[in-house]
C-alpha cells in the first residue's frame, strides 16, 4: 500500500516538473511583451529555467524582428500580460545560426514526398505544370 502511494506521489511530482513554465519576456524596438513557454521534444529533456529564458528571448527577438528581448522578473501572482508564444529547441537552434546560413538538411523521406507531389502535380495538370 505504501509503495503504491509513494509511486503515485513520484508520478505527480514528475508530471508537475515536466509541465513547462510560462516566462514573461519584454522586447524593444518594436515594443512587445510575450508569455513564452519552451516546448521540449520529450520528457527526457530537462532544461534549466535560466536557459529557457535565454531560449525565449533569443527566438522572440529573431522571429519578431526586435532589436532586444529580455526576461522580466515574475510579477505578483505569476501573471504576465502579453501574447502567448511557444518556443522549441529547433527554433532556438535556428535563432543562433547566422543570417543566410541553413543548418537543416532535407532527409530522404522528405525528398521522396516532394518528388511524388511534383510528379502528381505534373500528371494531374496534363503535363502543363512540369
What share of the chain has pLDDT > 70, as a percent? 77
Any domain includes 41: yes
Domain of residue 65 covers: 20-105
Any domain includes 80: yes
Any domain includes 29: yes
- Compute the average pLDDT of residues 53-57: 93
Any domain includes 5: no
Number of domains the chain is built from: 1
Cα–Cα distance for residue pair 36/55, rounded to 1 Å: 10
**Contacts of 28 by beta carbon, 8 Å cutoff, 6+ apart:** 66, 67, 68, 69
pTM of the complete model? 0.59
- pLDDT of 20 reads 56
Any domain includes 94: yes
- pLDDT of 75 reads 65
Any domain includes 64: yes
4 near 49, Cβ under 8 Å?
no
12 pLDDT band (50/70/90 cuts)?
very low
Any domain includes 4: no
Cα–Cα distance for residue pair 90/81, rounded to 1 Å: 26
What share of the chain has pLDDT > 90, as a percent? 28
Any domain includes 100: yes
**Model pLDDT for residues 61-120, shown as the tens digit of each residue:** 999 889 999 998 876 666 788 899 999 988 888 888 877 666 667 778 888 888 898 898
Amino acid at each position: 500500500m505504501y509503495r503504491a502511494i509513494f509511486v503515485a506521489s513520484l508520478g505527480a511530482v514528475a508530471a508537475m516538473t515536466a509541465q513547462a513554465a510560462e516566462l514573461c519576456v519584454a522586447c524593444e524596438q518594436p515594443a512587445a511583451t510575450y508569455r513564452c513557454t519552451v516546448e521540449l521534444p520529450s520528457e527526457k529533456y530537462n532544461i534549466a529555467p535560466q536557459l529557457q529564458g535565454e531560449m525565449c528571448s533569443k527566438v522572440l527577438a529573431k522571429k519578431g524582428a526586435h532589436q532586444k528581448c529580455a526576461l522580466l522578473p515574475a510579477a505578483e501572482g505569476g501573471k504576465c500580460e502579453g501574447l502567448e508564444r511557444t518556443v522549441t529547441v529547433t527554433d532556438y537552434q535556428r535563432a543562433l545560426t547566422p543570417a543566410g546560413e541553413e543548418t537543416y538538411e532535407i532527409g530522404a523521406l522528405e525528398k521522396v514526398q516532394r518528388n511524388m507531389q511534383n510528379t502528381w502535380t505534373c500528371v494531374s495538370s496534363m503535363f502543363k505544370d512540369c
